């Protein structure tokens, strides 16, 4: 009962009108991973009474289990707060939480386009890092007001004064300006709220103009269809209004209009300057694209909002059911998952050796991991994933351009004029003493150095052009390892550029395994071929027969290893009838088998597919 009363009160409180645009503030929080974005959002929700204290769980806006466990934000979650400022006026503060990871940088840029300002959160024990800088640049490009916040000042190892100086220098402001905060303990958070009211400009907008709203996110609801998350720039949106998505030309009716408290809370209307949601009658998420302009059907706006792009997957891999009879289950799971994630693509593919499966496209490696983990977790599927690869543009001699998402389907050498691969602009931050180590590593990765600048006396920012294929191998962990964990990496797509690449085929017991083939730079092909066969020798278990493993280019074998036949029974070493040990071994084998593919008569474990990508680093 008490709860119901509370909920009712809450809705009334939110519907309560905040008079005029000048009392609205729309903002986002940007930060490097783990610098405390979600924790600061939790404190803001608490201080404004948006979420009742006893209902508060850590990282409230990270709703997915996966987000909580990994401590990352995957899907942006907006929320409206009401705050009575020191001047006595009630303000409507719309916080748009953004996913921080590079894979989602387009989504971040659209969330930022819905705001007038950002809180730039920097960990006082770490300083500015690559992701902070990449996201800060996105905010500055859009002309947003930046409020720097130095977080975690409660940590004894933190150095707030130095980090304050570093941030101030980078932004070209006085060192007293960045706010000092402990989001964990709540210190300084009130000042953040006041600063938001004081410094972030209120939205502008013409209430009488045709509706112009930015779609910055969306969600699929099984019962209600697509729910679009929107920021209104001009006009207003009311219940039952006929709407039009400009990029797709799709018309639909507004079935419900409301705000995020953070639960969906109907208000019947949204006006210029406000952030909220609209329930549409649409069932396909692809018609409601992030970055699109939503307008009214009868009187469409003549000027769509800038910055719209159709995001394209960058990284691909094949997903195959470990047991072939699960194919239908995998198809259904992919279909369900893609309802909520328009940036992930899949299409059926048949591999001569792996059987029936799907070629899936992702925004990046983290996105790929998340989708695979959700498929296994939410749908209890055992999957075998082939090597990830980047999407290539192949220019043919006949003038056509072919997009190749699976290296096994590369046109024959005679048809190819040139191959282009995606290049990224990488930002790397590191303490100055690691410049040599970082540069040494980047030299081995087919990179082009752009520039280096100092951020404060002890840290540097390096910029490179680097092929995405080099990034997805293991660039981030390698950078961490050469810098004892201090370097950080962020990257955004730059362009496709020509590269001299060849396809390295892998044959297991004479059979080409298409899921194991990979594109490599021609000059590294021999070395890579040797490495791959050695790795596979370590990863593929011994069988009752010899298993030759070969690497080949254009049908010519360039490296070979042989896995010798197994002679003894696998449990033979468990002498003396120790049945518990035997059982343990059998169970371990059974569990391992689940994630295996049997190719010919050879069992290839999941790890073998991934091991091929790992590389030996030249440490000299």
Asked if 530 contacts 559 with a C-beta cutoff of 8 angstroms, the reply is yes
> How far apart are CB 59 and ligand GTP at their closest, in Å?
5
User: What is the spatial distance between Cα 488 and Cα 477, in angstroms, rounded to a whole number?
Assistant: 9
Q: Which is nearer to ligand GTP, 37 or 427 (CB)?
A: 37
Find the shortest distance in angstroms from Cβ 374 to ligand GTP. 17
Distances (CA, A) of 261 to 82, 92, 238: 10, 12, 19
Query: In angstroms, what is the minimal distance from the CB of 151 to ligand GTP?
Result: 5
CA 480/CA 431 separation, integer angstroms = 12
Q: Distance between CA atoms of 512 and 550, rounded to whole angstroms?
A: 9
Choice between 59 and 499, CB closer to ligand GTP: 59
The end-to-end CA distance of the chain, in Å, is 70
> Which CB, 234 or 341, lies closer to ligand GTP?
341
Nearer to ligand GTP, 71 or 352 (CB): 71
Total length of the chain: 620
Spatial separation of the C-alpha atoms in residues 226 and 27, rounded to whole Å: 24
- Residue 588, class by beta-carbon neighbours within 10 Å (0-12 exposed, 13-18 middle, 19+ buried)? exposed
Q: Tokens 């783990």 appear where?
A: 34
Residues 6+ apart with CB under 8 A from 436: none
Alpha carbon distance 104, 138 (integer Å): 13
In whole angstroms, the minimum distance from the beta carbon of 40 to ligand GTP comes to 7
Q: Which of 100/515 has CB closer to ligand GTP?
A: 100
Tell me how far, at minimum, the Cβ of 115 lies from ligand GTP, in Å. 17
- Letter string b/e over residues 4-15, b meaning 16 or more CB atoms within 10 A of that residue's CB: eeeeeebbeebe
Closer to ligand GTP by CB, 33 or 540: give it: 33
CB 521 within 8 A of CB 598: no
Nearest to 547 by CA among 612, 608, 603, 605: 603
* Residue closer to ligand GTP, measured from CB, 102 or 559: 102
Q: Are strands 389-390 and 401-404 parallel, antiparallel or unpaired?
A: unpaired
Least separation, in Å, of the C-beta of 284 and ligand GTP? 29
Residues that bind ligand GTP (CB under 6 A): 31, 33-39, 59, 71-73, 100, 151-152, 154-155, 182-184
* Least distance CB 63 / ligand GTP (angstroms): 12
Smallest distance from ligand GTP to CB 486, Å: 17
> How far is C-alpha 135 from the geometric centre of its chain's CA atoms?
13
If the CB atoms of residues 78 and 100 are measured against ligand GTP, the closer one turns out to be 100
Q: How far is the CB of 257 from ligand GTP (least distance, A)?
A: 29
Q: Which of 191, 250 has the CB closer to ligand GTP?
A: 191
| Residue in the structure block whose two tokens are 């931050």 | 429
CB of 73 to ligand GTP, least distance (A): 4
Give the sign of the dihedral formed by CA 421, CA 427, CA 429, CA 434. positive
Least distance from C-beta 337 to ligand GTP, angstroms?
21
Choice between 33 and 442, CB closer to ligand GTP:
33
Q: Nearer Cβ to ligand GTP, position 25 or 152?
A: 152
Decide: 111 and 309 in contact? Cβ < 8 Å.
no
Contact 267, 276 (CB under 8 A): yes
> 192 or 507: whose CB is closer to ligand GTP?
192
H or E stretch at 186: none
Helices (H), 349-467: 365-379, 435-443
CB of 456 to ligand GTP, least distance (A): 21
121 versus 404: smaller Cβ distance to ligand GTP: 121
Residue 184 or 537: which CB sits closer to ligand GTP?
184
Q: In this structure, what token pair is assigned to residue 288?
A: 């409601």
User: 291 — alpha (psi -120 to 50), left (phi > 0) or beta?
Assistant: left
- Minimum distance from residue 61 beta carbon to ligand GTP (Å): 9
Q: What HEC string does 282-318 produce? A: CCCHHHCCCCCEEEECCCCCCCCCCCCCCCCCCEEEE
Q: How far is the CB of 207 from ligand GTP (least distance, A)?
A: 35
Cα separation, 77 vs 96, in Å, equals: 6
SS3 letters across 522-568: HHHHHHHHHHHHHHHHHHCCCCCCCEEEEEEECCEEEEEEEECCCCC
Cis peptide before 262 (omega within 30 of 0): yes
Residue 194 Cβ vs ligand GTP, minimum distance, rounded to whole Å: 18
Which C-beta is closer to ligand GTP: that of 67 or that of 505?
67
């Amino acid at each position: 009962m008490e709860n119901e009363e509370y909920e009712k009160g809450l809705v009334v409180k939110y519907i309560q009108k905040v008079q005029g645009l000048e009392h609205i503030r729309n903002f986002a929080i940007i930060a490097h991973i783990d610098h405390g974005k979600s924790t600061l959002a939790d404190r803001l929700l608490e201080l404004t009474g948006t979420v009742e204290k006893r209902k508060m769980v850590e990282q409230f806006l990270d709703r997915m289990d996966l987000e909580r466990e990994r401590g990352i934000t995957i899907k942006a979650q907006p929320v409206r707060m009401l705050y009575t400022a020191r001047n006595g006026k009630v303000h409507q503060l719309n916080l748009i939480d953004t996913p921080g990871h590079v894979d989602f940088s387009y989504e971040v840029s659209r969330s930022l386009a819905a705001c007038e300002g950002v809180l730039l959160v920097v960990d006082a024990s770490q300083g500015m890092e690559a992701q902070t800088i990449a996201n800060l640049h996105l905010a500055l490009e859009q002309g947003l007001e930046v409020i720097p916040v130095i977080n975690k000042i409660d940590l004894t190892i933190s150095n707030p004064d130095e980090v304050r100086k570093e941030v101030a220098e980078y932004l070209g402001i006085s060192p007293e300006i960045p706010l000092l905060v402990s989001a964990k303990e709540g210190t300084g958070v009130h000042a953040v709220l006041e600063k938001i009211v004081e410094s972030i400009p209120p939205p502008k907008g013409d209430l009488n103009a045709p509706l112009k709203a930015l779609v910055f996110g969306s969600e699929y609801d099984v019962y209600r269809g697509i729910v679009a998350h929107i920021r209104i720039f001009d006009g207003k949106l009311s219940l039952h209004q006929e709407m039009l998505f400009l990029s797709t030309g799709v018309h639909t009716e507004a079935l419900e209009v409301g705000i995020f408290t953070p639960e969906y809370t109907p208000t019947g209307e949204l006006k210029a300057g406000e952030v909220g949601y609209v329930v549409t009658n649409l069932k396909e998420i692809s018609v409601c694209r992030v970055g699109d302009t939503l307008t009214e059907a009868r009187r469409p706006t003549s000027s769509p909002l800038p910055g719209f792009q159709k995001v394209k997957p960058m990284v691909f891999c094949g997903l195959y059911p470990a047991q072939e009879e699960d194919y239908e289950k995998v198809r259904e799971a992919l279909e369900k998952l893609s309802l909520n994630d328009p940036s992930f693509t899949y299409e059926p593919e048949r591999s001569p050796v792996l059987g029936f499966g799907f070629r899936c496209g992702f925004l990046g490696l983290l996105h790929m991991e998340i989708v695979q983990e959700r498929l296994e977790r939410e749908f209890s599927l055992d999957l075998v994933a082939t090597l990830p690869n980047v999407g290539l543009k192949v220019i043919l001699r006949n003038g056509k351009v072919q997009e190749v998402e699976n290296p096994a389907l590369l046109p024959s050498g005679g048809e190819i004029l040139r191959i282009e691969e995606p290049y990224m602009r990488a930002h790397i931050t590191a303490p100055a003493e690691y410049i040599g180590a970082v540069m040494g590593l980047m030299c081995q990765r087919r990179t082009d150095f752009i520039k280096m600048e100092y951020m404060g006396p002890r840290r540097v920012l390096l910029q490179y052009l680097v092929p995405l294929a080099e990034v997805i191998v293991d660039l981030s962990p390698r950078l961490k390892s050469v810098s004892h964990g201090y370097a950080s990496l962020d990257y955004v797509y730059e362009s496709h550029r020509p590269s001299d690449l060849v396809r390295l085929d892998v044959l297991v017991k004479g059979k080409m395994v298409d899921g194991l083939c990979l594109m490599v730079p021609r000059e590294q092909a021999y070395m890579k071929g040797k490495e791959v066969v050695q790795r596979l020798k370590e990863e593929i278990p011994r069988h009752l027969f010899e298993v030759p493993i070969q690497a080949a280019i254009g049908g010519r074998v360039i490296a070979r290893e042989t896995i010798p036949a197994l002679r003894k029974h696998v449990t033979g070493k468990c002498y003396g009838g120790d049945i518990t040990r035997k059982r343990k071994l059998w169970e371990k084998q059974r569990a391992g088998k689940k994630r295996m593919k049997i190719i010919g008569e050879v069992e290839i474990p999941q790890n073998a597919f991934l091991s091929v990508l790992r590389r030996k680093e030249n440490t000299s």
